[in-house]
Structure 1
Amino acid sequence: MAPVSDEPTAMLRLGRVGAPDLPRRMEHLEASNQRSALTAAEVLLDVEADFLVREGAAVVFAERAFPVAELARALELWAPEYDEPRDDFSFDSMSYDVPGVVRIVDTGSGWTIGSRYARTTTVPRPWPMVHAEVRTFVEMVKPATAVAVREATGSMITAILAVSPAFDMSLPDAKAFVVDAVRGIGPVDQRLHDIVENYGRTGVLGMRVTVVTTGEGTTSDVVVDGPSGRLRGSWVGPRPQVGAMVDIEVETDRQCEWDDVVLGATWAPQTEGGHRSWLRGVAERLDPDGVLVLRSGPAVTMVEMTGFPPESVIGSLVAIPVDGARFFPTRI
């Protein structure tokens, strides 16, 4: 859940923003072997917070688990610019049978905020004050939505693809927005750029794999087959079924050594015990921060490398040994 602050004078207030129903929705999609990016409607319905309309210390309207992302999007569409709107605002939410759970009305002597379910409204105020209130609310909810989806799904890419349709952003804009909202990610910005661009070109997000084996009991060990070869790692989230085809993000818990990389490998080198995985693909680009962009078929994987790369590595087929791999389903 993402904490969102509010000013003491705010008429529109909200509590902690979260998406508690989103993991269950994801599990349902996985259980039915469906892979689909979150729709705008799903994001706007599932991101919620306790919501208040206040006039000073008095509560005009209060609702728990209110669809604040949906309200923010509706307000953004109603008053995108500073100019005073010609029509009143009546929130037509997918969660309510009738419109008007939130209303903003021009009384002739100023604008009031209320609800069809409330007996009172805020006092009339001039449009500039109400517009500032609306914009403040929208600008609080949008980044909180990105954080809530990221926390609920465990995937930056899923958050980007969710925010894009929900708030009508291009993929590059959504990527920049989510990265800024989550903060403190460092070099992941460029990696996300590559993955999002690749998704736009190929329709493939992360690496599409088939689950070969899963661990017994509560263990999260999983073996998958994909364009990079057979990989062993720890599955993050509900354990998949054997035979399921899933798009995943592959991460490692430590940097990979250039000295261990095998150039020109079309097969996975043998290792003692068989517990080491080998990422295979074409070394497409090496960033200044040491992150290698590895292309395996249509998929791209970002691998943090350490040491000194061979001069001829870019454009070459490579096999990179990885320990401690983690698989994050992108839910796509």
Structure 2
Amino acid sequence: MSIEKVQLVAFVYKISTPVTNIDENNMVKDFYSYKFFEKFLHTIIKRTDSEFTDGKKFIDLISIKQSSDADILEGVFHTSRYGTKNDIIDIKSKAVVANLHPTQGVRNSIHFVINRKTGVFIIQSDPFKVATRNTIVKYFDRKQILANTLVDKYNKNNHPNHIYKEFIFAIETMVDEGFYQQLRKLATTKELKVTSSVEKPDSNAAISTLTKDDYDDKDMLGEVTDVSYSWESNGRGSSLKHIERFVKNVIDLEKVSNIKASGYNHAGKSDSASFSVKPVKHFITTTKNSNGELDESKIIEDLIKHCKKYS
């Protein structure tokens, strides 16, 4: 049986389970309770309706378990795309050998690991582009109601620190910190510009805010791929505030592609900070046999190796 080396990409995110000290009305956004979050995951898996579907994408949390390393949790999502009828052909003979109906799809297993100490979440890239940050967040959002009892127990045992049932988790895209280092060189920031990659309905919605009420679709701009938004502070001696916090909130791997801040450095000269939003990623190496099967043990081994870097 022939063996072929394969290189895959894994993306890095960070999970948090924000808590609020209700006595001081102070939220700790970066807090991560692995015990709480893992109980939440187990609650999802136990359900017969654990999957999420939206007419095109399918994602389902299949399993989680402690790794051979006690600090690492391993898990698997099943993903698929469906919604249209497709023929399955034999590549050599070109003959149709079966059909995929609209309610059927090809299953893919996507592995991930979570660092229990830090909440760092590293997931194997999904060729179906279903197991993305956006879809995973949407998936867990839909399942939050299952954690109500867990939240009540946590709040009872950890007073005054409370988790809110409407906000039990957050998943943040980890990006290169270079922008923030550049940003701190600016003494005064006069403009912040965010460029977002968009699909046609999104761009039309943005354009319609600048057009007459009786506009026609044919009057819309065509072939729009990116939309830019600018925030300015033009008053004498004024400066935009809380930029770093704003940028961390606005970054979304699926949408924001570039951010630029312009202003004056500490020497009083015009300066800027900019970067393309590129998620932190790692390469993982595995093998594929003549049946097209990937060696999952090697995938997990590399995921764990990278995840340990964030302890």
Instruction: Give the structure-1-normalised TM-score.
Output: 0.21
Q: Report the structure, 1 or 2, having the larger helix content.
A: 1
Q: Give the number of the structure with larger relative contact order, counting CA–CA contacts within 8 Å between residues 6 or more apart.
A: 2
